Amino acid sequence: MNERRPKVYPCLAYRDPAAAIAFLQRAFGFSPLLTVPGEDGVIMHAELSLGDEVIMLGVAKPDLGWVSPLDLPALNATVCFFVDEVDAHYERAVAAGATVVRALRDTNYGSREYSVKDPEGQEWHFGTYRPAPGAKGA
């Protein structure tokens, strides 16, 4: 079997995973791959894709230290994705109600990009920049 499988995939905690999944689909174009409900019907684990890339998410588990950004005093991470049509992607995210952190812009390192937050405060960054594994830094 020679299928491409991600080697890195962010895992995010949400107070309301079902609402998060609906927003991620509407705002950013994610597609659901797997949803695993717990005994109480709350989504314990889910996998979503955007093109070839995958994220995982589930209900917050404070006993393990996995909490929603709503429960933190500051942001602890940003999830970054390459997208081909960044202008259209930005318009879709804004129309769906994403909170703009950095509006669509061109950077001095050749990327066109933007940053937004979802309703629970997870920060998402989309743009045309792609890291080059194995490239030597300046």
Which residue ranges make up each domain of the chain?
Answer: 11-127
Location of structure tokens 């629970």: 120
Alpha carbon distance 125, 131 (integer Å): 14
pTM: 0.90
Amino acid found at 87: D
Q: How confident is the model at residue 138 (pLDDT cuts 50, 70, 90)?
A: low
Q: Residue 1 above 50 pLDDT?
A: no
Backbone angles phi, psi at 121, to 5 degrees: 95, 5
Q: Which residues pair with 2 in a beta bridge?
A: none
Alpha carbon distance 82, 132 (integer Å): 12
> What CATH class does 11-127 carry?
alpha beta
Amino acid found at 58: G
